[in-house]
Amino acid sequence: MNFDLDTYGAFIGSNKIYLNNASSSLLPLKSIKAMTDFIIQYNESGPDSIDFGVNLAERYNQLRQTISKLIRCRPEEVILTQSTTEGINTVAGGLSFPKNSNIVIRGTTHEHHSNYYPWLRLAKSVELRSVSNDTNGFFEISEFEKLLDENTRLVSLSHALYNTGAIMPVEQIGKILEEKNIPYFLDAAQTVGCIGDYDFSRTKCSFMAFNGYKWLCGPMGIGIFYCKKDSANLLEPTQIGGESAMIYDNDKIAYKDIPDKFQAGFRNYPAVIGLETSVSYLLHLGLDNIRKKVISLANLFRDEIAKIPDVTLYGPEDQERRTSIVPFSIGKKLPQEVVEQLEKRGIVLAVREISDTKIVRAAPHFFNTETDILKTVDAIKKL
C-alpha cells in the first residue's frame, strides 16, 4: 500500500526513522503550514476582534464536524481537551459515587497509568474491581461479568493496549453494559486513526477520550473527550467558567449544554487548526488504507525480527486482534540501552512495560516504509 507523501516531505527528509507513533506522531507539512497561517491571521485580525471571533467559531465547528465523521457521533458530543488524560479525569472527577459503589477496570499493572491512576485515587471511597488478564492483556468475558452488580457505577477499558497492541472486545462489553444500564468509559488513544474506518458508536460507550498527537498526526496539547448526549447529565464539570456556565436569579449557576458544559477556559487555537487539517488528510487517504499499510509494516517487522537469536516477541499473533504496535526484547539486553543505541543511529523507538517486564516498542505509521523496517531490523542485528 503506497501513498503520495509529498505533503510529508518536511520531516520525511530528516535522516531519522521514526517508529514511535504510539507515543506521538509526526505532523504533516500541510498541518504545520495551516497552523502558521492561522497564527499570522490571529495577529493581523487582532486576537480579540469581532472578525477573529467569527473565524474561530467557524474553525471550532469545522473540527467538531470532522471528528464526528471520524468516530461517528454528533458534533456537539465532541469536547476539546488537552489530552486523553484530561478526558479520563473529567469522568473520574465528575461522576458521583453513592455509598457502596464500585468501578470495574481491566488489570492494574498491565494498564496505562492514565487509565489507572484516576480510578485508583477513587479507591479510598469507591471499590475498585479489576478483571484478571493474560500476558497479552485479554480477559474472559465470563470473568468480567462476574464483577458486575447493581452497585457498579462505571466500567473503564482501554480499546487497545499501549504495550502489546491487543484490541479489547469493547463491542461485546458495550452490549452487556447497555443491557445493565451501566456507564461505560473507553480510552481510545491507541485506536482512533489506526484501526481502519471504524464506527465507534458500535462500542456503545457513554464516554470516550483520545488525543490528537498519536495516530491522528496532530500537534501536541490537544485531545478529544466524547460525551454521549444522553450521558452528559451524569457528570458534574470538573472546571467552570464563563464559557461553560451562566448566572441567573441572584447568583444561581446553570451549566450550558454540551460541548460548552465541559469546556471552561480557552483552548489551544493553533492546535485546533492543526488537528482538523491532519484528520481531514487522514480521512482523504482512507482509514482502511492506513490500517492495511500499518499492519503490513508491523507484520514485516515481526517476521524479520523473529529471525534474530534471543528475540522475544510479545502481543497477539493474529493481526485482527492487534494494532501496529510491535513489542519485543532481546535476550539480556536492557530495553533502555537498546532504544538509546538505536536513537544514536537515527532510529526512534520506545521503552514500555508489560506488567513488570520492560520491553522495546515499535509502532509504525502509514508514512513509514518497508525500507524503514528493514533498516531498523538490520540495526538491531548489529547491537
What's residue 53's pLDDT? 87
Q: List average pLDDT for each run of 10 residues in the chain, which is 383 residues long.
A: 56 77 95 95 89 90 97 97 96 96 90 94 96 94 97 98 97 98 98 97 98 97 97 94 87 91 89 97 96 98 97 97 98 97 97 96 96 97 93
Residue 135: CA count within 13 A, CB half-sphere: 8
What's residue 354's pLDDT? 95
Query: What are the phi and psi torsion angles at 335 (to 5°)?
Result: -50, -40
Q: Strand pairing of 207-211 and 184-187?
A: parallel
What's residue 346's pLDDT? 96
What's residue 267's pLDDT? 83
CA nearest to 29, candidates 2, 3, 11:
11
Task: Report pLDDT digits (tens) over 328-361.
Answer: 999 999 999 999 999 999 999 999 999 999 999 9
- The SS3 assignment for 113 reads helix
Cell output for 149: 452488580
Write down the pTM of the prediction: 0.94
Q: What whole-number distance in Å separates Cα of residue 25 and Cα of residue 101?
A: 38
Cis-peptide into 183, omega within 30 deg: no
Q: What whole-number distance in Å separates Cα of residue 210 and Cα of residue 186?
A: 9
What's residue 52's pLDDT? 86
Report whether 29 contacts 9 (CB < 8 A). Answer: yes
Q: What whole-number distance in Å separates Cα of residue 372 and Cα of residue 359?
A: 20
What's residue 11's pLDDT? 53
Task: Report pLDDT digits (tens) over 267-296.
Answer: 899 999 999 999 999 999 999 999 999 999
